[in-house]
Structure 1
């Protein structure tokens, strides 16, 4: 204890040294943060010198002497906050501390007082305080209670209304004098007192000490404290249950006690009753003294059976408001209940009765129930009930109700029961639904469309139950004259039930038996409401090919043996609905080998079309020949059809009038005189010339007329033909005329044909002339063109002219007089020139007309482009960039190109403009061929700063070509970079401190990259940071920063110099300035370091406090 006392005395000394208040004006109360460096727990409240006045302990020289307890305004109800757990100890001492509990009230509560068990030193005083935990503010102060009476409870009045479910700290402020008290060591938290106060933890706001080892002052112990509350008014009992009471009879009364637990008299002004209840025995208004009580009576008068509730509201001026007594009771008498309260029969098929449903009548009362009447409305009936009927209390009886469905849809009715129970008659709701099955087919009708004969198809027909009762299918079948074409595949087993809303699929197969529409009806027999049989029309169409052949017989006439007759045809038609495929034609009969058809098989005929099938006769013997031709097709109803064939075998003999023909010389493009060929039949039968053909290299230059074959020549008859030579080129032509006949001895007769074609031929030296690009307004140089007779005869040129949309741009020069006759091998020449007046493409054709049969209109395409710009420059402008004075660039090249197809004579170049003298040009004048280029050299020089510009002009000597201009520019400057800003003012900065950082932007004004090699300040107070400033691209910018850090007071000025690589002088200079402000050595008013005032000590109070607390820790370790 001595050791603890010494430490606390030292601590108090430290506080007074560190925060001794100097003379001066009173400062406002303030919250001061104190750092704990003493090795013990120091929680929450600041040193006393800075505490708000309400929290300071009573000063020693002004404490009132008083007894251990004071008179209170009201006693109230005392609730002990001291925990029941923990070890009771009594040698604790408090030093200058706030101690109490953190609590929460379960309802709004009025606090009247707090007391605490203490042993106060003589003259020491304590005071109760209330903190709001959420706001960390003191919300109430208690009265001061002073000691000297030993170990006892000290009570301090507190008038405060606590909110429900809000946290507060209820505590006592204890002076710094030695104060002994009992306590609970290591209590358990939380716990609840009287269902009203939740005690969450013990709280301390300063140092707690009692352990000789001086541990940290945790909240592991609790004081003995009580809180006095105003409970206001209470009622007992708070609820009254009267139990069972006959309806219409008042119960015996029950007493209710009203108590005043408050500090003032209670004024009762009304007893408000709800429900079948009443009060008596208390005259109003009534007054109840503090701590006293009064009684009144409550009675129950039920007016109906069953539970009844109500309440008596005691209206008073109690601090806790009006009090409520809950009232309950049960009115009893005979009663009737019916179960179920409604009967739903569900679905019942129309025309049938439902199963009986039981209804139970129960006596829920205490008297015998007499049931005197029962009736049912609608399609409902009652059975099993004899009236009148009696039911003992708690007993029941049952009877049946039945639903007879007569129509589909919902049906409703009621069951009315008459009895002597309250609420009679009782009505019971009856309901049901008449249901029926209905059948529907989808699709209806069922149509298969067109199906090929010999094929079949399956379609699905869905039978649906659209009703709300099960559907039974009893029979399925097809009726009608084409019923055999339809069948059910995988028909279901009958009878078959289909649930409401369900369906059954039928697979119907259609196999058409003939062409055209096929119809039937599917009959479905079921128990569906309405018609007993559903009839679904089913139809389809049989389609396929149908073969027809006309005529049915064919006579091929007479034909020489070994030869084939002229063909005769039959017509094969498809009168069906799908393609007819003829796959083959077969022959039968004694002379089957003498007949044939050239028709290619298979052959397809679409519906409605026909084809001719040719037959030929090649008799193998003289005389009549016969056979039958059969068509093999895909017509399933008529797989084959026959045609009768007949013919007669004969024997002809061919004789010619000439064995060969020679036509001699014939001019190309003309025809020779015709030569006659006579063919005579000297045989006994007709001679048929099947064909006459020309073959050989010159076959196209000969013709035969007439050329209609086959040609029949009767026995002893003849036929004549004309052969002609038509040369289309120069030279000898030969061919062979071949006659094919049915002469078995000479079936092929070959007649040689010869002739010679003669002609002239025109040849050109060129087929196209391209003048290329031509300057507008100039005539091009002439382009030559030659015409030669390359033929074997003379050539006559009748016309030479220019045609086409661009003909006006072209002219002919030196054309010989026309007509012009050129002997074989002779040549004539002339020229073409081009003149354009506007830019653009010009195209035309030089047309040469002659008697050249192969090329009577020879053409030479001529083309050229008029251009307004004959010259081009690369580059189109020359920008020399920026140079430091004196400016002298290296030579820059400009390539001048001739864009035309003509040679241009360039004049001397010319430089014009304000700064023409700044630019010098060389190397341009002279001839420049088509498409050729020449390079001009340009140099930029000037001795004065300028933004120079001029124009280089290139022209031709004849002045007929638009001049070419090239823009020239350059810049001469004294500096290559600039800074922004050019000066910085840092204002006042305290010596030894650093001012704000300011930035400077450096911009490259030249057209070449520049490298900043150094940014330096010539004043040590100005610090430059330029690490990020290095190479700047043309036009780019970078930044560096300058900071002012004065080391002494007074004005400071300097220059920041920006130097480029390889430069001896700075490229830019930034002026910087600032003022160093002297540091204030005097810290202000001396006094406690915890506040500021004139003349205060330069030693901070925190430092002094830290030193003192450090000393305390050292003293503790040394056992002071």
Structure 2
């Protein structure tokens, strides 16, 4: 098999090959052709490959070349080589010619296609001697301008002898370092008289379009990782997350990943901890998961569906480890920027660069006190006071309280000394503080709380003032209301005196719960009473039922020696009832001037409790014909069942009806003024009766009937009924 042969260059090529150099070849590109029209200007189609012919004889036409040669692109070449045919008769010594070597190389060109970046791909190139004489291989080199990603073993000066029919294998390698198509050529020099230098084109090709995809799982195609969430991380601590960048494009197009960084640059919160492999990196299209080590390249093992090397790198993926070290509490959002050259095979928009949201929350405990400063205020010496301190965790992490103690415990106290406990975010607890001063003065100390919160230990100021206490005194010490009629009320006052130096605060005045509801106090509290001052409490007794009532007034104050003072109350509910007998007095017909009576009027108490009879007398409008005599000493207090009486007389002063009343005034609230009606009729002597002696006291004592018209006649009869007979006759 013949190749391009430039006979007048053969000695120079043989000499050059023998020195271990490389021949000057084309421009490093390989373009296949059918004829010269398929090639660029300055190239010719030689044996299917567009070739630039250097050196040459400087011909401009065939006339400028020796016999049997043609001028091709300014170079004289054998006509058979220019025509793509063979020169000579096969090199086997036929027709009486001496035997010559004849080089043959298979394949004539090598296209490595789309090889994974960083992976060496190999193809064999077989050199054979098809001639009748021994073939000497001088050298094998890469054409100048060929990509350095191509290689051949062995290379350089060979000095290898091949007898007729013998072969020699060359191992051609391609180790792409990027996703760009490469080209070059291999130059094989020998002592073949008509093919001293054979050029074997080398090429690679990448077709389709790339697409960048980032996932959390190296063995998965998706879902696309839009957010890398670190969750909650303690401030100052570091958490790491991994993501894997793949080429999920079409065909054999490579994806170049040039840079991975955090935006904003120089962030102290998010950092790129590591990137495997080193960048830039070229990624072949993702080939799917592995099931065993046999699915992986050499030095890789199948772990969880991904081919992984000993350093943790994943085959044909960029493994990015991002660290999150929050410098503050709260949500922190930044971005991971992956600079790449994707072609947008997925049609989801050109992701140059790819941005992935980085999100995390910095957490740390915090401690808060309510109130921030505890003031017990003014407390009386000898008295104990307490205050509540609320400790809470407004942070986002568990708060560990390690100890709580006081710098000075002489008069202050705390109920959780030495206690360790935890507060979850948002939780709170209550600490009870106490102050027990023994003498007047201003006191203070510091509560020290040790915890895992920033700034620990924390301090809370405690202040207080101890003062001399007030002293309460109440007068009288008890109240007896005595008898009080039902529906009536009686009142009394208690005088409260502060015999101490500082204000006395009467905080509560009330009736003890077992007290009779007939007792009440009008004040619920009193204004502060300065030292030596007084206040008044009004107490009321309004019995609702008869009988003895008892109660207790409770007076609460800030006197530490007597915070509760009591005053006993007593009273009797009574219901006296005034009764009179008779209820009315009618004297009937009484001779004018005659004194009728006495009629005894009895006044009595028919109720409960004492009845006071205050007055007995005639009522307004009572005629003088009626008289009251034998009155009792008034006022008179009548116990239940007791009575007093008086006498009533009627002496008509003239004829005709007479009327009046007796009025009785008493303490019976239901009937405070009772009237007894009086009546009588003044009359002359009845027919046949005469007051002959003119003494009304004995009435009409003389029985006589008028005769002779009431004119005395001398007939021995008292004609005029004057108790004299025939007088003056």
Whether TM exceeds 0.5 here: the answer is: no
Report which structure shows greater RCO (CA 8 Å, sep ≥6). 2
With normalisation by structure 2, the TM-score equals: 0.37
TM-score w.r.t. structure 1 length? 0.26
